Copies of this chain bind each other. A is one copy, B any other.
Amino acid sequence: MKQIQAYGTEDKNAKLKPLTIERRELLENDVDIDILFCGVCHSDIHSAHNDWGGTKYPLVPGHEIVGRVTKVGNAVKKYKEGDLVGVGCMVDSCQDCNSCAEDLEQYCENGMVGTYNGKDKHTGKQTFGGYSTSIVVKEEFVLSIPENLEIKAVAPLLCAGITSFSPLNHWKIKKGDKVGVIGLGGLGHMGIKFAHAMGAETIMITTSPNKAESAKDLGADSVLISTNGEDMTKQNGTFDFLLNTVPVKHDINPYIQLLKRDATMVLVGAIEPLEPMNGGQLILGRKRVAGSLIGGIKETQEMLDFCGKHNIVSDIEMIDMQEINTAFERVTSNDVKYRFVIDMKSLK
């Protein structure tokens, strides 16, 4: 085991602080990555506070990682020292079940290994995330980052990016489709960029009129204020697809009304019980509500390549590692456009 510097927490009520952690030595299929930047995802906060249960302490969050390869194991073929690489929400999976065979490791039937708070398959110990100076990851779970992109703004693509890209890609959004992106946060702002780049007529759907201009700057063709009943009614039955990024309990019925017959709304944020859905809403137009979880490794690479081609990155605010507790507070109060990224040299 090797000792490295990190930032984490030893208690659900404590603030994050410097920690020394142990990580596994380089195995033959491993890539050793010097972490340059790490995005701050709302999940990091939920995990630190054990909001979802299951957190083991000490916890080192961070699953939007960008760095440079410093060393590779003997059997590694895809990467070499100096390569710009990324790591997202997963660092391992069984690679044997139906889901893994279909490049959908996020749905691994034996459970994927989370980048943090997971169980390392080799050491049996806890995995630690990107709020640290380095990380060792199995080659198959390392992504290649297009060099033309602004590196620090790539970090959030590894979670916020793929989470919004995957449903748009899976449900085959194409030129001319009318796509609504519900909620303008870390996921929603990426959803707008992707839907726009895919050629869709992209409509930002938000409760906040003051987000209208920002949404248009990101690529939205127009903005629909969901609290305006009259405007909503006018748009009923007109959307080919809805990407719902709202991360908390809410009423999805007004959004289902926006869908055309046979159209789909995909939830990517709300992992809790929603307000009661009216079955008739689905029945009367053969509509669908579905879910989507991040994306597989293959699709994450496709997303990064798509970003390289279309010059898409996240809109970010840079912080030093020592500012993480303030950043957590600001994320919680929705005060960030749209993602904090930690400059990891502040920890070195």
Contact = CB atoms under 8 A, between A and B. Distances in A.
A278 B274 CA distance: 6
Interface of A: 98-99, 104, 107, 109, 170, 237, 261, 264, 267-293
Contacts of A282: 267, 289-291
A-B complex: 3 closest residue pairs judged by Cβ atoms: A282-B291, A271-B280, A283-B291
Given A287-B291, A292-B286, A276 B274 contact: yes
A278 B272 contact: yes
A277 B280 contact: no
Given A107-B261, A270-B279, A283-B292, 8 more contacts: A104-B261, A271-B283, A272-B280, A277-B277, A283-B293, A285-B291, A287-B291, A288-B290
A270, A277, A283 interface centre (most CB from chain B within 10 Å): A283
Work out how many copies of this chain go into the complex: 2
A278 B270 CA distance: 8
A136 to B, nearest CB: 27
A19 to B, nearest CB: 30
Given A107-B261, A261-B99, A293-B286, A273 B276 contact: yes
A268 B283 contact: yes
